[in-house]
Amino acid sequence: MLAKILSAALTGINGYLVETEVDISVGFPAFDIVGLPDNAVKESKERVRTALKNTDCEIPSKHVTVNLAPANTKKEGAAFDLPIAAGILACMGVIESREDIIVLGELSLDGSVRPVDGVLPMLHFAYEQGIRQCIVPFDNAEEAALVKGMQVYAVSHLLQAISVFRGENKVMPFTVDIDAVFKNAGGGELLDFSDVKGQESVKRALEIAAAGMHNVLMIGPPGSGKTMMAKRMPGILPDLSFEESIEITKIYSVAGLLRNKNALITKRPFRSPHHTISNVAMVGGGRVPKPGEVSLSHNGILFLDELPEFARSVLEELRQPLEDAEVTISRVGGTMTYPASLMLVASMNPCPCGYHGYSQKCTCKESEIAKYMGRISGPLLDRIDVHIEAAAVDFNKMGSRAPSESSADIKARVVKAHKIQQERYKNEGIYFNSQLSASQINKYCALGDEETSLMKLAFDRLGLSGRAYHKILKLSRTIADLAGSEDIKKNHIAEALQLRNLDRKRLL
């Protein structure tokens, strides 16, 4: 007898349907799984066999064949345990075969159902294909319920899944008010810029960077507050939209980083990997490809502290994601693309000891300084919009009791600038000034005669690359938005040029 049960699998962060076909026929007792299964899928026959035996549904001594279609794509993970078991039970006549419900779950030997990764993107795709019901592990229930319109049956044991197939109403659909969860979700207290004394020019640069989602590099001696300010950046970024939240949640689901009680990611990610990170951990990949830090930072911030301490190869891997806002990983089994629309915030010292140009304590030789700065390539620096100096703060400012501007005040201006950009680009498929293409720059960053003359002077004297020229125009557009100006003025360009510190230092 042949039975078919619907399941799903992943390619990148996108799901696709898998038809689990099960046939039990007369012949030499065997259990074969075909359809390009990996080792975890092949081992499912032992988990399924034992789980069925321990729930009094032992497989008959016949030839069991399982086909996971489409057969030309590799199937990975343990999420096929439950659909395979359901297919066998349908062949045995215990339940009816159904193709209008999607089944996901790993089985324990006692028949209990364990959670699996990637439930959200798989169910999201299934819903787009017209599937309106699903059976998932109980620990994946909140994640599954994020798919609006999907009727979720959350089970903790194989027997509960059987009752769902039989329509016995022993397991009621799991429901959650998604809008209320998103609206009322708490994310803990964010660090506030009011804690930062001095550094007004750096805080202004970070405000501009946040307003246009521009990449930023802070350069300064140890203890000048670079890390402190970077950690306060999430507090001045606009709140996530529901669509952005779902995008991030899908990535974290695939990476296996979701927890049941926090199924929906409602705060912009802030990732701060250690400088010993590997290439694969940064951009993603591996034998079983997973998203890397650049994708886990999607719609949020990737903070790289002490930038020159990262391996040169790791930093060079960032060039393509920063340019294209996505990562494409090619392996023998196929090609996967992960989103990586992030804001890079980085910090570094001016020399190995950290005090060059700021203190007599610096004993570094010119050759050592050049080698240290040379760890960051020109092409990577070109992809960083803002280069700003964070000088040491003097005692008077550190000891001042005068209140500093709060994150809430800065965020209000940033949100206002974001709304201007969203209205301007509503038909362009982009959201921020940093995402402008060359043709869009010509359209939205048009300059008057005086502004053009200033840009020509800067281009010639600073020896700017074409990319750096475009970065300055994008920054000028953001500064104009913060000022509420429809046109880019000379003072906006002048301020943008001041934010390209390393371009100016190349002339010294």
What is the pTM (predicted TM-score) of this model?
0.87
Band (396; pLDDT cuts 50, 70, 90): low
SS3 145: coil
Q: What mean pLDDT is predicted for residues 484-498? A: 93
- Lowest mean pLDDT of 41-45, 61-65, 197-201, 432-436, name the range: 197-201
**What was the pLDDT predicted at 300?**
94
Q: Which amino acid is at 488?
A: I
Residue 123 has pLDDT above 90, yes or no: yes
Q: Which amino acid is at 295?
A: S
**What was the pLDDT predicted at 506?**
47
Beta strands in 210-257 (DSSP E): 216-219
Written as one string, the DSSP assignment of 490-501 is: HHHHHHHHHTBH
SS3 347: strand
Band (507; pLDDT cuts 50, 70, 90): very low
Band (128; pLDDT cuts 50, 70, 90): very high
Query: How many angstroms from the chain centroid is the CA of residue 504?
Result: 33
Q: What mean pLDDT is predicted for residues 48-58? A: 92
For residue 30, give Cα distances in angstroms to 49, 63, 101, 108: 11, 5, 28, 21
Arithmetic mean of pLDDT over the chain: 89
**What was the pLDDT predicted at 184?**
67
* Sequence-ordered alpha helix ranges (H) in 337-465: 366-373, 378-382, 395-398, 407-424, 438-444, 449-462
**What was the pLDDT predicted at 136?**
95
Q: How far apart are CA 7 and CA 16, in angstroms?
A: 9
More confident residue, 500 or 237: 237
**What was the pLDDT predicted at 153?**
95
Per-residue b or e along 393-428, where b marks 16 or more CB atoms closer than 10 Å to that residue's CB: beeeeeeeeeebeebeebbebbbebbebbeeebeee
Torsion 84-89-92-97 (CA) sign: negative
Band (289; pLDDT cuts 50, 70, 90): confident
Q: What mean pLDDT is predicted for residues 212-229? A: 92
**What was the pLDDT predicted at 27?**
82
Architecture of the structural domain at 193-407:
3-Layer(aba) Sandwich (3.40)
Which class in CATH covers the domain with range 2-176? alpha beta
Q: How far apart are CA 59 and CA 163, in angstroms?
A: 19
**What was the pLDDT predicted at 399?**
66
Q: What mean pLDDT is predicted for residues 294-323? A: 93
Q: Where in the chain are the domains?
A: 2-176, 193-407, 436-508
**What was the pLDDT predicted at 508?**
36
Q: For residue 111, is it left (φ>0), alpha (ψ between -120 and 50) or beta?
A: left
pLDDT in tens, 149-179: 899 999 999 999 999 999 888 888 888 777 7
Question: Which pairs from 18-21 meet CB under 8 Å and 24+ separation?
Answer: 18/68, 18/69, 18/70, 18/75, 18/80, 18/83, 19/68, 19/69, 19/99, 20/66, 20/67, 20/68, 20/80, 20/83, 20/84, 20/86, 20/87, 20/103, 21/66, 21/67, 21/68, 21/69, 21/87
Q: What mean pLDDT is predicted for residues 4-13? A: 90
Q: By percentage, how much of the chain surpasses pLDDT 90? A: 55
pLDDT in tens, 104-122: 999 999 999 999 999 999 9
SS3 193: helix
Could you tell me whether strands 301-304 and 133-137 are parallel, antiparallel, or unpaired per DSSP bridges? unpaired
**What was the pLDDT predicted at 185?**
62
**What was the pLDDT predicted at 205?**
94
Residue 243 has pLDDT above 70, yes or no: yes
**What was the pLDDT predicted at 187?**
57
Residue 354 has pLDDT above 70, yes or no: yes
Q: How far apart are CA 44 and CA 32, in angstroms?
A: 11
- Residue 278 tokens, joined: 């590997």
- Among 78, 75, 87, CA closest to 38: 75
Residue 31 has pLDDT above 70, yes or no: yes
**What was the pLDDT predicted at 494?**
92
Band (47; pLDDT cuts 50, 70, 90): very high
pLDDT in tens, 419-474: 999 999 988 888 899 999 989 999 999 999 999 999 999 888 888 888 888 999 99
Residue 253 has pLDDT above 70, yes or no: yes
More confident residue, 184 or 368: 368
DSSP 257: -
Band (333; pLDDT cuts 50, 70, 90): low
